[in-house]
Amino acid sequence: MTTAWTENRTLARVVDHFRQDIDDQYLAAMAGRCLLNTLETTVRWETGELPYVVTGDIPAMWLRDSSAQVEPYVRFVHDDPFLRALVRGIVLRQARYILEDPYANAFNRGPTGEHGFPADATEMGPWVYERKFEIDSLAHPIRLWWMYVEASGDTGILKDLPKAAIERILQVLGDEMDHPRNSRYRFQRFEAPASDTLTRDGQGPEHWPTGLVWSGFRPSDDATVYPYLVPAEMFLAVCLDMVADWGRAVWHDGGITERAETLKREILDGIVRYASTVEPPYGRIWAYEVDGLGHMLMMDDANIPSLLSLPFLGFCPVEHPLYQNTRRFVLSRDNPYYFQGSTLSGVGSPHTPAPNAWPLAVIMQGLTDPSPRRGWEYVRRLAAADGGTGLMHESVHVDRPEEFTRPWFAWANSMFAELVLRLLGYAPVARPALVPVNWNSEDGESQAHVSFR
């Protein structure tokens, strides 16, 4: 429900820009609704507390989703006091949550003890809604914090709670590089699909230390098949580079800088050694998951981080040859979760029924395509696949857009708005790609055991 504090003048001017510069008025109105959706429907913010951001139809705050939901607003925080206060408050709330439990993915507004799945066998605390360890849940807040500081100049925010949270994150990442030896984390969900729980009494699949960070779950909240989730590792490397910069320039803390740089180097080395294979006719491509024992899972999932999203996340340039090879694989029928239909074509997920494509993935095609003309084509296809609601959804049947999952999914709405903003010239808060065009581009045969999910 719209209240007085959600009627933001900056965003209202942007919505007017949409109406003036987009010829298709249905599409313009849709972009405006998607831009405002997070602010108008998911933010819970009372005087004296930090803002709390639900995902939409699930009344909990995910670290990943809340970061992405407000990302379109960050470019405006320098000149808009309200949006600055909103994003700043989210940064502080996320830091508090990470200090409360860095293994959790979703949290309650207060220490209510409300658990989404009360019978989960893991170490639940009263703030925790769900405790699936997903390494992207630690990366997404770092990305948001970096964007906020870059856009606002507010380096002071990093000196208290966020710094303590970063130190905790670095500890956890170091521990999870050798999960069997160093980690106490276990997770089991009983009487649930196999994708909702970890095997081997909650420890997850067999694996070998590689320099990569163990992840029990994907950004879809599904369990990993092999516990080194390659796009999430790449995303972590980008975020560790940000942390190293803060260690040098903000905290003047050589210990944090050295730990972040060491973790980043180990992850990048693990990617080079374990995460790519030659797959005809595409050439050398990156796998989605690996285990260090020679197994690779060749697929992509719509949820971000994904292989498709690597340039958007700042890992590599769009023209990187392995990325281009991988992109051709991801957007082909060789990816078992790519679906083509009469209304929509795009990457789906084992998290939702086939043949449903996710608007998030189609949006990501536009965000990683250098052609503005093709970008507007993606926007028009998505508008035609909204099921008459004027909003995005989690997934959509590729031939019957009136059949969709999750009618209120704010992350997808925000990302649709982000694509339109960029196409209209609203520059993102971004940094140069972490790795150059020629990084990890050697050819050669791989001895990996390749599996297609």
Classify residue 3 as exposed, middle or buried by CB count within 10 Å of its CB (0-12, 13-18, 19+). Answer: exposed
Distance separating alpha carbons of residues 66 and 78, to the nearest angstrom: 20
pLDDT of residue 444: 41
Residue 6 has pLDDT above 90, yes or no: no
Answer yes or no: pTM beyond 0.85: yes
Element spanning 229, H or E? strand 228-229
Q: 10 Å Cβ neighbour count for 310?
A: 29
Residue 257 has pLDDT above 60, yes or no: yes
The 3-state DSSP class for residue 223 equals: strand
Alpha helices in 307-352 (DSSP H): 321-330
pLDDT for 7 equals: 80
What is the model's pLDDT at position 337?
A: 98
Average pLDDT, stretch 295-306? 98
- For the segment 251-262, the average pLDDT, to the nearest whole number, is 98
Q: Report percent pLDDT > 90 for the chain.
A: 95
Listing DSSP states for 353-373 in one string gives: -TTEEPHHHHHHHHHT-S-HH
CA distances from 2 to 13, 18, 89, 141, 271 (A): 17, 20, 20, 26, 46
Name the domain count of the chain: 1
- Report the pLDDT averaged over residues 343-359: 97
Residue 182 CB contacts under 8 Å (≥ 6 apart), including other chains: 174, 175, 176
For 125, the domain range is 4-451
- Average pLDDT estimate for 298-305: 98
pLDDT tens across 386-438, in order? 999 999 999 999 999 999 999 999 999 999 999 999 999 999 999 999 999 99
* pLDDT score of 453 more than 80: no
Nearest to 385 by CA among 342, 341, 338, 343: 343
Q: Where are the alpha helices (DSSP H) in 297-432?
A: 321-330, 359-367, 372-384, 410-423
* CATH number, domain with residue 263: 1.50.10.10
For the chain, what is the mean pLDDT? 95
- Helical H runs in 177-283? 179-182, 199-202, 230-249, 254-274
What local confidence, expressed as pLDDT, does residue 2 receive? 40
pLDDT in tens, 33-81: 999 999 999 999 999 999 999 999 999 999 999 999 999 999 999 999 9
Question: What pLDDT, on the 0 to 100 scale, is given for residue 443?
Answer: 47
Mean pLDDT within 180-202? 96
